[in-house]
């Protein structure tokens, strides 16, 4: 009988299996032998052409993500699947805080050209491009909306911290249907995320393409009551800030008038030492 040839597994399959189990050392060895598999898009019908980083980010494999980034996975530009989603979007949707932090930090150090044809790392973290955070999928959603829909408050705070335009601009963005991150958070009843978004400046009166506000999408009565309470609290804080701004000129004028009055007061020069008024001691007279 002719012996059967040894059964060999394709390197691409072995690589994906290593990512599934989180074996970063094996991933590194396979990529060293097969550097062309750094992206390795999933060609299965349900795979959406997800790359290695997409898979590792969705599973929360931080060490594997670090290996893939070092191998140049995001060069010359961030990898996208068939839905134009980045690995950061998948990690934010699943709530993998460490992976989100890693990807945001790597993105803040990366500098991309406008045409995404060239890439280089400035190595210091300053002046980065932060292009991954600005990416949208085919529905116009970004990573912040994914984190809000999933109810991942810590991930949301990380994304708001790294967003290049600041938290206020981040929470004002809308998808293709006009939904903001507040719409997604309200629709899923995520109370902590609601507070974070409102603190960042989310517009509670913003209406989507169907003329619905975030409060109208409240998943539960509790979420609706909580959202309205937060809105009232934010309104009171804004009124207090406006009153303080109005009172500041009055206080400054009063302080200026008081200083002028002190300057024209008749004070005995002999009782002034170093600009401080000396009060005479009358203890002997009291005795």
**174-222 tens-digit pLDDT:** 999 999 999 999 998 888 999 999 999 999 999 999 999 999 999 888 8
Provide the β-strand partners of residue 277.
Answer: 272
Q: How large is the average pLDDT for residues 78-99?
A: 97
Domain 9-138 shares a fold with domain 144-242:
yes
Residue 69's closest CA among 28, 30, 98, 36? 28
What is the spatial distance between Cα 160 and Cα 149, in angstroms, rounded to a whole number? Answer: 15
- Element housing 277 (H / E): strand 276-277
Domain extent listing, the chain = 9-138, 144-242
Query: Residue 237 — left, alpha, or beta (φ > 0 → left; ψ -120 to 50 → alpha)?
Result: alpha
Q: How far from 261 is each of 71, 258, 266, 267, 278, CA to CA, in Å? A: 72, 5, 10, 12, 19
Coil, strand or helix: which one is 273?
Answer: strand
> Is the CATH code 1.25.40.20 the one for domain 9-138?
yes
Homologous superfamily, domain 144-242: Ankyrin repeat-containing domain (1.25.40.20)
- pLDDT range class, residue 32, cuts 50, 70, 90: very high
Tens digits of per-residue pLDDT, 93-141? 999 999 999 999 999 887 654 444 333 444 433 344 458 999 999 999 9
What is the spatial distance between Cα 156 and Cα 171, in angstroms, rounded to a whole number? Answer: 10
Question: What pTM, to 2 d.p., does this model score?
Answer: 0.78
Q: How far from 79 is each of 141, 207, 263, CA to CA, in Å? A: 16, 32, 70
Inter-residue contact 69 to 82 (CB < 8 Å): no
């Amino acid at each position: 009988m002719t012996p059967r040839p040894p059964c060999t597994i394709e390197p691409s399959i072995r690589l994906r299996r290593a990512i599934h189990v989180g074996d970063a050392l094996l991933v590194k060895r396979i990529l060293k032998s097969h550097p062309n598999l750094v992206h390795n898009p999933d060609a299965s019908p349900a795979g959406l052409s997800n790359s290695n980083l997409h898979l590792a980010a969705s599973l929360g494999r931080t060490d594997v993500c670090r290996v893939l980034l070092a191998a140049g996975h995001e060069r010359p530009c961030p990898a996208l699947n068939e839905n134009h989603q980045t690995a950061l979007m998948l990690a934010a949707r699943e709530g993998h805080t460490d992976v989100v932090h890693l990807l945001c930090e790597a993105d803040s150090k990366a500098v991309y050209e406008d045409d995404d044809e060239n890439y280089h790392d400035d190595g210091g973290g300053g002046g980065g491009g932060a292009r991954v955070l600005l990416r949208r999928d085919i529905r116009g959603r970004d990573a912040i909306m994914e984190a809000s829909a999933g109810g991942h408050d810590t991930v949301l705070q990380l994304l708001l911290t790294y967003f290049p335009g600041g938290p206020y601009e981040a929470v004002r963005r809308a998808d293709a249907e006009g939904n903001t991150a507040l719409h997604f958070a309200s629709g899923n009843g995520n109370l902590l995320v609601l507070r974070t978004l409102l603190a960042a400046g989310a517009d509670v009166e913003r209406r989507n393409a169907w003329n619905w506000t975030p409060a109208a999408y409240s998943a539960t009565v509790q979420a609706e009551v909580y959202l309205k309470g937060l809105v009232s609290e934010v309104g009171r804080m804004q009124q207090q800030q406006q009153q303080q701004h109005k009172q500041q000129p009055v206080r400054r004028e009063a302080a200026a008038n008081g200083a002028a009055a002190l300057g024209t007061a008749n004070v005995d020069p002999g009782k002034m030492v170093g600009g401080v008024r000396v009060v005479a001691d009358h203890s002997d007279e009291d005795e």
